[in-house]
Amino acid sequence: MKKIMLAVLGSITVMTAGSAWAALDIGDKAPDFTAPAALAGKEYKFSLAESLAKGPVVLYFFPAAFTSGCSAEAHEFAEATEKFSALGATVIGVSTDDIGTQLKFSTQACQGKFPVASDANKSVIKSYDAAMMLMPDYANRVSYVITPDRSIIYSYQSLNPSKHVTNTLAALQDWEKTRKK
C-alpha cells in the first residue's frame, strides 16, 4: 500500500511542485489542539497552547512516516533543530500515522530531536484543513509558523519536502527581527 501511495504522491508532487498556498491564511488564529506525540521514542501528550506559552511553533503536516519524502523532511528538520531552538521555536510534525509508528519515526527520521504527533482520527488535520484533496486519509505537506498569540505568520504548502525547513526558518528569523525593532 505504501508503494502505491508513494507512486501517487510522486505524481502529485510533479503536478504541484510550484504550489505555495496553504489551507489557513496568514493572520488566521491557529486552532488549539492536544494530541498523542512521540519524542525520542517516548510517548507524551503534545499541547499547542503549552508550546506557544514558551515561544513560536513550527507546525508541519506530512503524509506518512517512513515514506521517502517524509523521512527526508524529518531528517532536515532534525538537522535544523538547534537553529529553531535558538529562535525559541518548537517544531512539531503531524500525520495520520498511529502512535506506535510515530514512536519509531521519532527515533529514526527525527533523530530524537523533535516530536511527531499522531492524528489518527484526523481532527487536527481537519481543523487546519490540511487533508490531501485526492487522498483525504493523509495529511497534505503543509507548514505553518505560529506566534505565541496563536497568529499564523507564515504558511507553505508543497508536496516537495525540500523548502519547508528553509522557508519556516526564514519566516521565524524575519519575525524575530521585526519583534526586536
Catalytic residue among 57, 58, 70, 153: 70
Instruction: Specify whether 110 is catalytic.
Output: no
Distance (Å, whole) CA 65 – CA 74: 9
Active site amino acids: 70
